[in-house]
Amino acid sequence: MPKPKESLNPFEEAQEQIDRAGKKLNLAPDLLELLKHPKRELHVNFPVKMDDGHVKVFTGYRVQYNDARGPFKGGIRYHWNVSIDEVRALACWMTWKCAVMDIPYGGAKGGIICNPKEMSKSENERMTRRYASEISIIIGPEKDIPAPDVYTDGQTMSWIMDTISMQKGYTVSGVVTGKPIPIGGSLGRDEATARGAVYATREAAKRTKLNLKGATVAVQGFGNAGSHYARLIQDEYGAKVVAVSDSKGGIYSEKGFDPKQVLAYKEKTGSVVGFPGTKKITNEELLELPVDILSPAAMENQITSENAPRIKAKISAECANGPTTPEADDILYKNGVLVIPDILANGGGVTVSYFEWVQDLANFFWTKPEVDQKLEGVMVRAFDAVWKMHEEKKCDMRQAAYMVAINRVAEAYKWRGIYP
């Protein structure tokens, strides 16, 4: 029996998206087949000495999906559920995200099967450095540039950069992005995903004749992307944030509230729940509120065929990766909800990662206003290209974004040809 579509393994889902977009673009079947497979996969099993003296063997991956448009780019995640199919799918999606943003990168992703919550800082460092050493044969500023992802951060990237630098005998700052500022990080990187999503929301509001001043906003997920998104859309565009949530639940107030105060409250108490003057709601209820703008900024598969008919927002700006299932997409499109898909909406993060890499290679760093201005230009051009495809092909924005991206990668192949 075929699996129901909503429970496809992530890589099969990624391949299905390529099929759907490729057929609409009338791509040659052999080219379509080429785009459905990663170029290279590295599986590594390596020993790490734990604090109590015993040696534990970890398994890690680095999947390099496609480099037709430039060096591979993509995060490294540490998680107990990391699987090769998940890493393949994420590397595939990174390929399309870089292409839709029109930055000269291909897609990659890495991961280690581990539980960082149960590891000390020194164990994490030894694991990171050994993994960096194992994948050092395929990464480098001109080859493949990793970045942070789930349960990895600027410290993780610093260890990787230092490990590669020690092997080379000189500082290689461009081998990773998402680094702290003192060792070659870029200003504006911490809020880049959210800022990019806000620019995309602004462009969507223009097209749908929605005035952002006073528009009501609900944000599911109040981590880095969600908290910055709420703050920026309220402070810079005058929207009214009426609901936010985290893993413990959500808060709602018709009158709205200041996201900066909510963030301070969350840092003090561990959750947004209980913020004065708001009523408690569930994450599920937040998605169905009667708001103008919804931003799913938490986990994947939050909007499904079950709850999609009850989504009342005019615009859904996906700060998270994969928050909407394919079935839900069809329902939202039919109901007139404009979805700004993840590979477009949250492309600001990889764009400023690209800026960081450019600055590292040039050893010349930009001011925060310069970074923001360049990001705005990239986001607006990417949104315009996707909107044009959406109108031309009369399809939803996700399909349009995939078609723009896949078309760009296919064009690169047509010019480059097949070696030898």
Packing angle, helices 348-362 and 368-393, rounded to 10: 130
Q: How far apart are CA 346 and CA 320, in angstroms?
A: 7
Residue whose C-alpha is closest to residue 231's, from 256, 204, 203: 256
Within the chain, what is the greatest distance between any pair of CA atoms?
Answer: 67
pLDDT for residue 10: 83
- Helix, strand or coil, per DSSP, at residue 24: helix
Structure tokens at 414: 């047509």
- Helix, strand or coil, per DSSP, at residue 295: strand
State yes or no: cis peptide before 71, omega within 30 of 0.
no
pLDDT for residue 2: 45
Residue whose C-alpha is closest to residue 225's, from 182, 253, 259, 258: 259
- For each of the chain's 420 residues, which pLDDT tens digit applies? 444 445 568 898 889 889 989 999 999 999 999 999 999 999 999 999 999 999 999 999 999 999 999 999 999 999 999 999 999 999 999 999 999 999 999 999 999 999 999 999 999 999 999 999 999 999 999 999 999 998 999 999 999 999 999 999 999 999 999 999 999 999 999 999 999 999 999 999 999 999 999 999 999 999 999 999 999 999 999 999 999 999 999 999 999 999 999 999 999 999 999 999 999 999 999 999 999 999 999 988 899 999 999 999 999 999 998 899 889 999 999 999 999 999 999 999 999 999 999 999 999 999 999 999 999 999 999 999 999 999 999 999 999 999 999 999 999 999 999 999
Catalytic site residues? Answer: 109
pLDDT for residue 3: 44
Structure tokens at 251: 């808060």
Q: Report yes or no: 234 and 209 within 8 Å, Cβ to Cβ.
A: no
Q: How far apart are CA 247 and CA 235, in angstroms?
A: 25
Q: Report yes or no: 264 and 222 within 8 Å, Cβ to Cβ.
A: no
DSSP labels, 43-108 = EEEEEEE-TTS-EEEEEEEEEEEE-TTSSEEEEEEEETT--HHHHHHHHHHHHHHHHHTT-S-EEE
Q: Report yes or no: 146 and 350 within 8 Å, Cβ to Cβ.
A: no
Q: Report yes or no: 111 and 86 within 8 Å, Cβ to Cβ.
A: yes
Residue type for position 125? E
3-state helix, strand, coil in the chain (%, to 5): 50, 20, 35
Structure tokens at 24: 């609409």
What are the structural domains of the chain? 38-171 (3.40.50.10860), 192-345 (3.40.50.720)
> Which pTM was predicted?
0.94
Burial of 42 by CB count in 10 Å (0-12 exposed, 13-18 middle, 19+ buried)? middle
pLDDT for residue 359: 98
Residue whose C-alpha is closest to residue 32's, from 52, 16, 14, 18: 18
pLDDT for residue 8: 60
Residue spans of alpha helices (H) in 236-365? 259-269, 283-287, 326-334, 342-345, 348-362
Q: Which helix (H) or strand (E) holds 251?
A: strand 249-252
Residue whose C-alpha is closest to residue 257's, from 237, 276, 241: 241
Place of tokens 């292409």: 99
Q: Report yes or no: 16 and 32 within 8 Å, Cβ to Cβ.
A: no
